[in-house]
Chain A
Amino acid sequence: MAVNSLVRTVSGAPRAGTVDRRRPRRFLGRRIIHHLILIAICAAFLVPFAVMITTAFKTPQDVFRVPPRLLPQRWVLGNFVEAVRSMPFLRYLGNTVLLVVLNVAGTLISCPLVAYSLAKLPFRGRNVVFATVLGTMMLPAQVTFIPLYLLWDRVGAVGTFWPLIIPAFFGSPFYIFLLRQFFTGVPDSLREAGLIDGASELRIYLQLILPQAKAALATVGIFQFVATWTDFLLPLIYLNTEDNYTLSIGLYNFFGQHGVAWGPLMAACLVFTLPAVVIFMVAQRYFVQGIAVTGMK
């Protein structure tokens, strides 16, 4: 059924997503079916969100009602108050924001630099370096995290933020790959013009190339934002004092202590999820571009 519609639409419309107003009426029924199918699919993806939101606003008795109802009997804010009270929420939030800011900064400083030199600067062994970057994209994180942990342990940095910040300044293969694809498309003449005018490579990079790459940089920055904001594994390994917890680990800890307090838990989850959702809504365009580029080569 879906296949049927796909083939019809691809042959019928100039581009998916655009609607031809002059389409004959006989397609009306088909269009309604299309919308119904899409609404059903979206409902499946949205219902868990609805559960999170409505549970967050329920009273404790309401949460444990049998049979469960989606909507609260009475909308209350108590769960949010309790969530913020029963853990140092603001502290976790501050830690998470700090890590996000530094990771995004690190990524935006290191990745375009490496990507640009891989795309445009002629140097020996460039292909070898690029192959290594591609190879490490496929490398399981587990292979590296034990030696890295031992390294951070030796310098006494386990329990601090450093292991969660420094690596971003060394670049991440995934973003380097994405940005290299972009820089490859920037015409060589731009760099050559700069060289003729006597600009240094660094100046060409900063003043000519980077401004071209604003959209690509935004994509990478947003991906890094979401990655750091939502990360669980690295904070779990490295942050072992409550003062340093991020929201991820704070929630994990909260669940351990107040397991069945679903109302406050869902309230905290909601607050934790909201910034990522807002960023996504605002910058949806960049997400879609970034995913399409990295997913299709």
Chain B
Amino acid sequence: MVFMAGPIAVSLYYSFTEFNLFQSPRWVGLQNYTDLVGDPKFWRSVVNTAYLAIIGVPLGLALALLTALALNFPVRGQPLYRAIVYLPAIVPVVTATYLWRWVFNAQYGYLNELLARVGLPQPNWLADPLWTRPSVIIITLWGIGGTAVIYLAALQQVPQQLIEAAAVDGANTWQRFWHVVWPTLTPVTLFQLIMGVIAALQIFAPTYLLTQTRSNGASGGPGDTLLTYAMYLFHNAFVFLRMGKAAAMAWILFLVIGGLTVLILLTSRRWVHYGSE
């Protein structure tokens, strides 16, 4: 608790100061915040992060649900299939990112070779500003196994009598899914949506590992398309040593996450059903 609650207050204080680690903090009022509003890189990082969250999170949830529906087939070997789907989620992020960096390689990579074989265009994934962010989304989609396993556990708790009753009443497959199965999955979806948005807004390691090495300082990738919010915060704190500005960014993120969580919870009343069985 000491490691959580205390620092929140301290970081609020630092966000009103100018502080470079070597001199003691100097009070500057709201200047860090007004600086950020006029900082094009800050807005770049906001746009990039919003892109990853708005496209990546719903896509991840949808694919995890489809995967879970398939994992729920009553066939032999389900535990093996489930294990395979979950496996990428435990791969170290450094490994996963470098592995995909190789797969995405425009010249020698396997993905473009595959695309060439089926006659699709082969983008220069990690060098073309248009394709860098989709690349990151693909890397994160590789790790949706955890969400799929959660959906699978939820699917296995759907009361079968309900589905059978609907079938007897003549509901077709889609109607049975939409009116019977989906409502029981909405609480899980809500929780996963909130956690997914929180994680997406903090995405750091994959974009950092795609753009930085020890020697190239603070890069944001082609056209700064991979400069995520967390990366820019990190650059401010540990590359430019502008701790005050970084603390201000952290506080803005904190407020945005809090606000979004409340917003999702408020709209959830319309689409989340809590069963009473």
| B54 contacts the other chain (CB 8 A) | no
A233 adjacent to B205 (CB under 8 Å): yes
Shortest CB-to-CB span from B190 to chain A, Å, is 10
| A198 contacts the other chain (CB 8 A) | no
Interface size of A as a range: 35 or more
Shortest CB-to-CB span from A218 to chain B, Å, is 15
B88 adjacent to A66 (CB under 8 Å): no
A37 adjacent to B70 (CB under 8 Å): yes
Per-residue contact bits, chain A 197-235, to B (CB 8 Å; 1 contact, 0 not): 000000000000000000000000000001001101100
| A121 contacts the other chain (CB 8 A) | no
How far does the alpha carbon of A45 sit from the alpha carbon of B90 in the complex, in Å?
Answer: 13
Cβ–Cβ < 8 Å partners of B73 in chain A: 5-6, 9, 16, 34, 37-38
Shortest CB-to-CB span from A9 to chain B, Å, is 4
Q: Which residue of the partner chain A has the closest CB to B84?
A: A42
| A196 contacts the other chain (CB 8 A) | no
Cβ contact of B76, chosen from A19, A288, A291, cutoff 8 A? A19
How far does the alpha carbon of A270 sit from the alpha carbon of B99 in the complex, in Å?
Answer: 10
| B1 contacts the other chain (CB 8 A) | yes
Known A4-B173, A17-B79, A18-B74: A229·B92 in contact at CB below 8 Å: yes
B103 adjacent to A2 (CB under 8 Å): no
How far does the alpha carbon of A253 sit from the alpha carbon of B8 in the complex, in Å?
Answer: 32
**Chain B CB within 10 Å — which of A11, A143, A256 has the most?**
A143
Cβ–Cβ < 8 Å partners of B85 in chain A: 41-42, 45
B90 adjacent to A277 (CB under 8 Å): yes
| B36 contacts the other chain (CB 8 A) | no
Of the candidate stretches B38-46, B125-133, B158-166, the one touching chain A is B158-166
Cβ–Cβ < 8 Å partners of B204 in chain A: 233
| B50 contacts the other chain (CB 8 A) | no
B181 adjacent to A35 (CB under 8 Å): no
Shortest CB-to-CB span from B211 to chain A, Å, is 12
A66 adjacent to B14 (CB under 8 Å): no
**A to B contact number (C-beta, < 8 Å):** 280
Cβ contact of A140, chosen from B6, B93, B102, B250, cutoff 8 A? B250
Q: Name the interface residues of A117-167: CB closer than 8 Å to any CB of B.
A: 129, 132-133, 136, 138-151, 153, 167
B99 adjacent to A52 (CB under 8 Å): yes
Cβ–Cβ < 8 Å partners of A75 in chain B: none
How far does the alpha carbon of A139 sit from the alpha carbon of B6 in the complex, in Å?
Answer: 13
B95 adjacent to A143 (CB under 8 Å): no
How far does the alpha carbon of A145 sit from the alpha carbon of B223 in the complex, in Å?
Answer: 28
A272 adjacent to B94 (CB under 8 Å): yes
A146 adjacent to B66 (CB under 8 Å): no
Q: Which residue of the partner chain B has the closest CB to A279?
A: B90
B109 adjacent to A68 (CB under 8 Å): yes
| A89 contacts the other chain (CB 8 A) | no
A296 adjacent to B251 (CB under 8 Å): no
Known A230-B92, A266-B102, A276-B92: A139·B75 in contact at CB below 8 Å: no
How far does the alpha carbon of A133 sit from the alpha carbon of B4 in the complex, in Å?
Answer: 9
Shortest CB-to-CB span from A250 to chain B, Å, is 9
B70 adjacent to A297 (CB under 8 Å): no
B88 adjacent to A45 (CB under 8 Å): yes
Shortest CB-to-CB span from A272 to chain B, Å, is 6
A7 adjacent to B181 (CB under 8 Å): yes
B92 adjacent to A273 (CB under 8 Å): yes
B237 adjacent to A48 (CB under 8 Å): no
Cβ–Cβ < 8 Å partners of A173 in chain B: 4
Q: Which residue of the partner chain B has the closest CB to A34?
A: B73
| B150 contacts the other chain (CB 8 A) | yes
| B238 contacts the other chain (CB 8 A) | yes
Cβ contact of A248, chosen from B94, B113, B176, cutoff 8 A? B94
B103 adjacent to A143 (CB under 8 Å): no
Cβ–Cβ < 8 Å partners of A259 in chain B: 213
| A190 contacts the other chain (CB 8 A) | no
Q: Which residue of the partner chain B has the closest CB to A50?
A: B110
Shortest CB-to-CB span from B72 to chain A, Å, is 5
B90 adjacent to A280 (CB under 8 Å): yes
B75 adjacent to A6 (CB under 8 Å): no
A253 adjacent to B113 (CB under 8 Å): no
Q: Name the interface residues of A7-62: CB closer than 8 Å to any CB of B.
A: 7-13, 15-20, 31, 34-35, 37-38, 41-42, 45-49, 51-52, 55
- A52-B95, A143-B11 known; 5 new pairs, CB 8 Å cut-off, are A16-B72, A18-B74, A149-B237, A284-B79, A288-B82
